[in-house]
Amino acid sequence: MRIIIVGAGEVGFHIAQRLAYENKEVVVIDKRAEALRRFTDLLDVQTLQGSGSSPSILEEAGIRGADTFLAVTDSDETNLVACLFANALEPGIVKLARIRDEDYTHHWPELVEKSLDIHTVINPEIEVVRTIEKSLAVPDAEHVSDFADGRVKLVGLRIGPSSPIAGIRLQDLRQKTGALRFLIAAIFRNERLIIPGGKDRIRAQDLVYFVCEADELRKVLRIFGSKAEPIRNILIVGGGNIGMRLALQLETKPYHIRLIEQDMERCNFLAAALNSTIVLHGDGTDRELLEEENIREIDVAISLTGNEEANVLSSLLAKSLGAKRTMTRINKFHYMPIIGAIGLGQIVSPRLSAINSIILHVRKGKVLSAVSLKGEEAEVLEAVALETSGIVGTPLKDLRFPKGAIVLAILQDEKSIIPDGESIVRPGDRVIILSTRKNISRVEQELMVKLEYF
């Protein structure tokens, strides 16, 4: 499987890193020799210096016969032109473009998509707003993903010292939960991934990922010790494109929203564009301003400026002054473990949101959705089980599935099943599978055709 990536920035690097780790053939194109040097030093990928919108460079990269074309530079125009020539040289190739300009996305279906035959457009700003919206619906969670059109939830929850399940072995957990159906999928402990077995214990400060039906979510959260009240008061720090887009979305829900922006001209624009949001001129790291705005009454403070250091400081200050929860926008991936270590809560990243959306479209088999867990050490896939799939027709306990891969849920017609060892996947069922990163390729193959493991 050959994948061509145009753009050697952070998004391009992390997509290439994941795909190279899965032994896929990756070619990266960029004009900047210094940007490509990072790829050649750290990854097993082919690099090509030049413009991704040059037909001759695309020919040299092997565009003919390639499976997927990803245009992920910081320039919308470069991405669009690159897709134009990719379409001309290899009309059947799957093309994805990273596009942020509102004007392009607004006219996308009628003009751009039809003209360029682009498979999908990835707007990082839209993706990160969706991530925040889903998380606000589960106040205690550090991660929330929807599968099966929202019928199944994957939730990442930090275990507090007073949680009733702290210290309990998984095999004993059923005594507390009775008939309540959920499955603990993964545990992150000290930034290390654990695919748990029955003898593993849940510890305080673990980040536990579990899957359950949406209708059962509140009951499962109570089992975990969650006592969070519904969110009402929200503070947004940063009135850029993401902050404004988020405020507009949240205004359609029963939230009380305040937005702090430093630039006075931008404040005037926001005040005219927004409806019920209170726009404040000031600095999100100003202690007096936060106290004047009753930060102790804020349920969640969301720092979304383009300055990562300012976001971290703003979130730390908001939390120290009494905000119940914080979300922090971070783009630099090497910052993320540090943010988690200092206990800031949830990180939101436009780049990571874009990567998750892009990875979905390079998966083999009939994959409907995909999401990476903390640190990208594991991935959760939702896929349709084909007649030829190796997971079809055999009780799960008898499957010779790769170690580190588990079936989390089965969707049969309108019925959602949190499976046990006796559950059987039928052709046409939708399955939700968690896999460690190193086993993704084998899971992809298993979704298409039966494999034998020795």
- Per-residue pLDDT at 113 exceeds 70: no
What fold does the segment set 233-323+325-353 form as a domain?
Rossmann fold (3.40.50)
Place of tokens 């029963």: 254
The confidence score (pLDDT) of residue 260 equals 97
Q: What string of H, E and C letters represents the secondary structure of 202-222?
A: CCCCCEEEEEEEHHHHHHHHH
Give this prediction's pTM. Answer: 0.82
The confidence score (pLDDT) of residue 375 equals 62
- Per-residue pLDDT at 274 exceeds 50: yes
At 453, the pLDDT band (50, 70, 90 cuts) reads very low
- Per-residue pLDDT at 109 exceeds 60: no
What fold does the segment set 2-122 form as a domain?
Rossmann fold (3.40.50)
- Read off the tokens for 20: 């190279």
- Read off the tokens for 225: 């010790």
CA 171, 172, 175 angle in degrees (round to 5)? 125
275-312 pLDDT per residue, tens: 999 999 999 999 999 999 999 999 999 999 999 899 99
**SS3 assignment, position 308:** helix
Closest by CA to 325, choosing from 149, 161, 135, 196, is: 135
Closest by CA to 63, choosing from 92, 89, 29, is: 89
Average pLDDT, whole number, for the chain? 87
- Please say whether the dihedral angle defined by the alpha carbons of residues 82, 88, 89 and 92, taken in this order, is positive or negative: positive
- Angstrom CA distances, 338 to 62, 334, 420, stand at 39, 8, 37
Residues 6 or more apart from 60 whose CB is under 8 A from it? 48, 50
- Per-residue pLDDT at 451 exceeds 60: no
Closest by CA to 267, choosing from 283, 254, 256, 255, is: 283
Out of 3.40.50.300, 3.40.190.10, 3.30.70.1450, 3.30.200.20, the CATH code matching 130-223 is: 3.30.70.1450
Q: Are the beta carbons of 204 and 161 closer than 8 angstroms?
A: yes
- Angstrom CA distances, 79 to 96, 112, 116, 200, 445, stand at 9, 12, 11, 47, 31
**SS3 assignment, position 240:** coil
Closest by CA to 299, choosing from 326, 279, 320, is: 326
What does the buried/exposed string (b/e) look like for 38-60 if buried means 16 or more CB atoms within 10 Å of the residue's CB? Answer: ebeeebebbbbeebbbbeebbee
- Read off the tokens for 404: 């580190």
Q: How far, in Å, CA of 364 to CA of 46, rounded? A: 21
Average pLDDT over residues 166-194: 86
Q: How far, in Å, CA of 23 to CA of 16, rounded? A: 10
Average pLDDT over residues 34-53: 94
Average pLDDT over residues 110-124: 73
Closest by CA to 93, choosing from 105, 85, 102, 81, is: 85
At 108, the pLDDT band (50, 70, 90 cuts) reads low
Out of 1.20.120.330, 3.30.70.1450, 2.60.120.330, 3.90.1150.10, the CATH code matching 355-448 is: 3.30.70.1450
Place of tokens 């079936």: 407
Instruction: Answer whether 2-122 and 130-223 agree in fold.
Output: no
Q: How far, in Å, CA of 144 to CA of 210, rounded? A: 10
Least confident window among 21-25, 134-138, 210-214, 360-364: 360-364
Average pLDDT over residues 174-186: 84
Q: How far, in Å, CA of 45 to CA of 98, rounded? A: 21
Q: How far, in Å, CA of 186 to CA of 193, rounded? A: 7
- Identify which has the larger pLDDT, 238 or 228: 238
The confidence score (pLDDT) of residue 176 equals 76
Domain locations along the chain: 2-122, 130-223, 233-323+325-353, 355-448
At 106, the pLDDT band (50, 70, 90 cuts) reads low
At 242, the pLDDT band (50, 70, 90 cuts) reads very high
Give percent of the chain above pLDDT 90.
Answer: 46
The confidence score (pLDDT) of residue 187 equals 93
- Read off the tokens for 106: 């607004």
Closest by CA to 444, choosing from 6, 24, 13, 33, is: 24
Residue type, 389: S
The confidence score (pLDDT) of residue 256 equals 96
Q: How far, in Å, CA of 305 to CA of 301, rounded? A: 12
- Per-residue pLDDT at 340 exceeds 70: no
Q: How far, in Å, CA of 117 to CA of 94, rounded? A: 9
Give percent of the chain above pLDDT 70.
Answer: 94
Q: Residue 193: enclosing H or E segment and its boundaries?
A: strand 192-194
Using left for φ > 0, alpha for ψ between -120 and 50, and beta otherwise, residue 366 falls in beta
The confidence score (pLDDT) of residue 454 equals 37
- Angstrom CA distances, 26 to 61, 70, 379, 392, stand at 10, 11, 20, 31
- Per-residue pLDDT at 36 exceeds 90: yes
Q: What is the DSSP letter of 299?
A: S
Q: Are the beta carbons of 111 and 117 closer than 8 angstroms?
A: no
The confidence score (pLDDT) of residue 52 equals 93
- Per-residue pLDDT at 400 exceeds 50: yes
Q: Count, in order, helices (H) and strands (E) of the chain.
A: 16, 22
- Per-residue pLDDT at 117 exceeds 90: no
Average pLDDT over residues 14-29: 89
